[in-house]
Amino acid sequence: MSHKLHDITLYYFDDAGDQSKRFTVRQNVVSDLYVHFLESYKPPKTTRISIMLKNPGEAINQTHYSGSIVIGDVSFDKTAFWNASADDQKRMILDMIHSFAIRCAGEFGWDKTVFNRAYQRVLDANYIFKTESRPKFSPDRRLKAALMIEKNEEKTVISASIYHTTGKKLTTIPLFESFQNEMFYGGLVKNFKWFSKDEFGVYSKAGQIKIIADLKTCTSRTSLEPKTTSREILEGQLRRILFADLKTQADIVAWMNR
């Protein structure tokens, strides 16, 4: 069975360290938006694309597979990138991702129209990552709710968008904030529903973690319901999901040891 392409990453190597981090958080938003607009496209035997950035004039290695990961190189001018505006940097990132994807499509027989469409949609979105699920009716059929995911260069914000049945948006209730990478929050946002006519939210596969928007108070709350997993482990899983401002290695260690 073929699995969807779920990740495209540009790997930036810099001895200074700070530039590498700044590049990574910027490319994450652009890349994730591009992958989102691929709409679960499944190139044969491919789940990830890893792109190594090479200095101008440096040898470009042949594109190859390692398992289900396609690996290859693109030329990258660091000086030009860091002298560019933020919008121009995003365009450079998008162009590198797209040009490599089109190269792979030519080499491996993928559908180029899927990638060209995703490229244009990223431009049309002006690099703003903001997606919304298909709305679901409340139990009394008086309202609809959708899950909204917004991503910036710091974190991901997940909210409940509440609509009248006519389609008019009534309110947005923040559910929780998570880290930039989907691996932290993806498992939780796969499952969302109305818990009552006044409550909508997300839940873990076994229903032991729930984050619920209360329409009466326009606030959210978290519920832990141990069944097959201890409360301590559930608290650890929740901590991994929820955003924390980790600026130093000491912050990371303290967060992991909480």
**Residue 202 to residue 199: CA distance in whole angstroms:** 10
pLDDT average, residue stretch 62-78? 95
**pLDDT tens digit sequence for 220-245:** 999 999 999 999 999 999 999 999 88
pLDDT value, residue 17: 65
- Matching residue, tokens 């319901």: 225
> Closest by alpha carbon to 129, among 40, 39, 34?
34
**Residue 258 to residue 145: CA distance in whole angstroms:** 34
Task: Give the pLDDT band of residue 1 (cuts 50, 70, 90).
Answer: very low
Mean model confidence pLDDT for the chain: 93
pLDDT value, residue 16: 62
b/e sequence 121-160, b meaning 16+ C-beta within 10 Å = ebeeeebebeeeeebeebeeeebbbbbbbbbeeebbbbbb
The structure's pTM equals 0.88
pLDDT average, residue stretch 167-181? 96
**pLDDT tens digit sequence for 127-152:** 999 999 999 999 999 999 999 999 99
The full set of domains in the chain, from first to last, is: 7-124 (no CATH), 129-256 (2.40.128)
- Matching residue, tokens 């929780």: 176
**Residue 107 to residue 72: CA distance in whole angstroms:** 12
